[in-house]
Amino acid sequence: MQQRLFPALGLNSTYVSVPDDKQVLYAQGYNKLDEPVRVSPGILAAEAYGVKSSSRDLIRFVEANIGLGQHDAPLQRALSDTRIGYFKVGGMTQDLAWEQYQTPIRLDVLLAGNASAMLNT
């Protein structure tokens, strides 16, 4: 992903593992002693915590995923394919990576589509 996909999307500050020289650019939390902390490395840390991205790259990623920007045909097709609906559950349609709702959407429908009860459907 870091060698091919991220550069193809113009994501120059997005990493699976943030390099040491870039750590100061990334968010951190604080523990109960008000000491700065980051996510703990572990066996599945990269998989569990996902990629780390700058706000600029996050906007680029969202733009690419809503069809803005120009990418080569295979990448554009892959992005489009993530927005194909496969399953309808209540008021929500599940895509590969996204959820779709009819607009305008009522708050109760949106909340129901994101409730923990959805895990059992």
Which neighbouring-strand residues pair with 97?
A: none
Q: What pLDDT score does 38 carry?
A: 78
On whether the CB atoms of residues 101 and 91 are closer than 8 A, the answer is yes
For 45-54, letters b (16+ CB in 10 Å) and e give: eeeeeebbbb
If you average pLDDT over every residue of the chain, what do you get? 88
9: buried, middle or exposed (CB in 10 Å: 19+, 13-18, 0-12)? buried
Query: Cis peptide leading into 104, omega within 30 of 0?
Result: yes
Please report where in the chains the tokens 């990493």 appear, as a residue: 15
What residue type is 7 in one-letter code? P
Q: What pLDDT score does 80 carry?
A: 92
Q: What pLDDT score does 23 carry?
A: 85
Predicted TM-score (pTM) of this structure: 0.71
Mean of the pLDDT values across residues 49-62? Answer: 90
What is the pLDDT confidence band of residue 88, given thresholds at 50, 70 and 90?
Answer: very high
What is the pLDDT confidence band of residue 84, given thresholds at 50, 70 and 90?
Answer: very high
Apex 115 CA angle, 100 and 46, nearest 5:
80
In the chain, the percentage of residues whose pLDDT exceeds 90 is: 54
d(CA 90, CA 52): 32
Task: Find the radius of gyration of the CA atoms of the chain.
Answer: 18
Phi-psi group of 23: left, alpha or beta (phi > 0 → left; psi -120 to 50 → alpha; rest → beta): alpha
32-53: pLDDT as tens digits = 999 988 777 777 666 667 788 8
Mean of the pLDDT values across residues 9-37? Answer: 89
Q: What pLDDT score does 26 carry?
A: 82
Mean of the pLDDT values across residues 87-112? Answer: 92
